[in-house]
Structures are given as C-alpha cells and as structure tokens.
Amino acid sequence: MIVKLAMSKFAVVEIGGSQYKVAEGDEIEVDKIEGKKGSSLNIKEILLLVDGEKVEVGQPWVEKAKVTAEILNQLKGKKIRVATYKAKTGYRRVKGFYPLLTKIRVKKISV
C-alpha cells in the first residue's frame, strides 16, 4: 500500500503523554502545562517529522528537531461526568470535573 502525503510540513509531537499532529500556525488544546500566557515553549519529543516528501521517523524521537510554541491561554475544558453504581443495591452517584487545559499556538517547526 502506497500512501501519498500532501506537500506540507508537519510533525507528530508528544505533550503530556498524548500525541498531536501539528503544523506551523496550528492552535491546539493540551493537558495543563505550567507557564504564563504569552510565554514560549520548546517541544523536543518529536516522533515524526514530514517536510514535503522528506520523512523522518524518530527512534523514539527525531534528533535535533524542535517545535517552538507559544502559550495562548490557561483554561478549563467541558465538564466530564463520571457515574458510578453498584448493582442490586440502589447505590448511584454522579461526579464530575472540569479538566485543566492549556491552549498553545505552534510557531515554528525546525530541524
């Protein structure tokens, strides 16, 4: 099977244990990262880097590659509800929480 990739530049990065596909200018929400609004962030855990037809796969990470991002906002996500119950006893509880998130903008992908 042959997969053709679009002629673009993107990377797959690992942030807080999750993987995200990012390109320059993208805005994504990730699990909370410590930092103030407007501060810069360097991500070195790059799993895959695609630049046109040039593809680099990390083992586990791509060496000498870096993604620079800017923290836009610290916010709360949508409420997540968790329901628990025990069968045959009538015990039911509903709990919930708002996950803490950080919104970031990818500025530059460099090798």
Read off the tokens for 6. 């679009």
pTM for the predicted model, two decimal places: 0.81
CB count in 10 Å sphere of residue 89: 7
Q: What is the model's pLDDT at position 52? A: 85
pLDDT > 70 in the chain, percent: 94
What's the mean pLDDT in 94-106? 96
pLDDT at 4 over 90: no
pLDDT tens digits, one per residue of 33-74: 999 999 999 999 999 999 888 899 989 999 989 999 999 999
Q: What is the DSSP letter of 1?
A: -
Asked if 105 and 37 count as a contact pair (C-beta separation under 8 A), the reply is: no
How far, in Å, CA of 34 to CA of 42, rounded?
13
Mean pLDDT of all residues in the chain? 92
Read off the tokens for 69. 């991002």
